[in-house]
Amino acid sequence: MLKQIHSECCEVSAPAKLNLFLEVVARRPDGYHELETLMVAINLFDTLRFTLANNGEIALRNQWGSVAARQSGQGLLPAGPDNLVLKAVALLQRATGTTRGVHIELLKRIPLAAGLAGGSSDAAATLLGLNSLWQLGLPGADLSRLGAELGSDVPFFLAAAGAAVCRGRGEIIEPCALGSRLHFVIVKPMAGLSTAQVFQNCQPSQSPKSPRQLVQSLQEGNLARAGRRLMNRLGEPAEHLCDQVSQLRSQFDRLPVCGHVMSGSGTSYFGLCRNQNQAMQLEGRLRARSAQMGQVFAVHSCL
């Protein structure tokens, strides 16, 4: 969501996402993997504020949105050239030839190394914010093409779809309406995982599954059936690499959720809840149990 404060400043909310379904179809010649995934944006947001810098300076200031977020992120937010926000700035400058500058303030609430795509969402927000602030006038297709250069999840956020089936590396977006709002409870343990390492330990399926039946169940409002069809091919390798993921799976087995699965390449784990009340009740229960494990969120899908 882009909010123009005045002609020299704008603010963008960058949502996290959950993968309700993730199949690894094949290894690609370019080193990436062919995927089919159902992604849903959720109401856990980073906030980025962009202020025009007439001297051409590029500056980024990071801060955590809460003490819990800072502790779970080990206190440090990367602000060097590997930061996806700064990569997005540099890519947009190269693509358009602009020499305009910007000061960026990033308020970080989405955990790092969590499978929630916070970095990718921040990169998408940067492309959207600067396209507006710098008055570049790039159409959505051009922004999506640039976003795909930054990361496989970036085009999803640029599509502004509450939910979508994404294919290829993730850059082929098929928005889908899921009907009513979905509610989830998420646990992000203290440990994180490298996306590259998880994929390296994953073998593509010999008989790939499709998210079609899951999408249909959600559209029909049949949460019990949808819960049984949640799936993540990266879950098994992630459990081998991180005991906390397998511990969360066992813990969610004992909760009255409709279904549960890891998001993305982990380590966040979530349950699909019947309604908002159940999500909030389980959030309280998990916080009481897992004070040593990390962060707990009750969230809903963004329609």
**Catalytic residue IDs:** 17, 153
CB of 118 within 8 A of CB of 16? yes
CB of 228 within 8 A of CB of 248? no
Nearby residues of 67 by Cβ (< 8 Å), 6 or more positions away: none
CB of 54 within 8 A of CB of 101? yes
Judged by DSSP in three states, 275 sits in coil
Neighbours of 220 (CB within 10 A): 11
What are residue 155's phi and psi, to 5 degrees? Answer: -60, -30
**Could you identify the residue written with the tokens 């169940």?**
217
Could you give the CA distance from residue 245 to residue 267 in angstroms, rounded to a whole number? 6
> Per the structure block, which two tokens stand in for 36?
């089919």
What's the Cα-to-Cα distance from 55 to each of 2, 4, 99, 101, 302, rounded to whole Å? Answer: 24, 21, 9, 7, 38
**Could you identify the residue written with the tokens 């809840």?**
273
**Could you identify the residue written with the tokens 């206190």?**
75
What's the Cα-to-Cα distance from 213 to each of 21, 151, 207, 225, rounded to whole Å? Answer: 11, 27, 16, 9
The size of the chain, in residues, is 303
CB of 122 within 8 A of CB of 85? yes
Judged by DSSP in three states, 287 sits in helix
> Per the structure block, which two tokens stand in for 110?
């989405």
Nearby residues of 252 by Cβ (< 8 Å), 6 or more positions away: 260, 269, 271
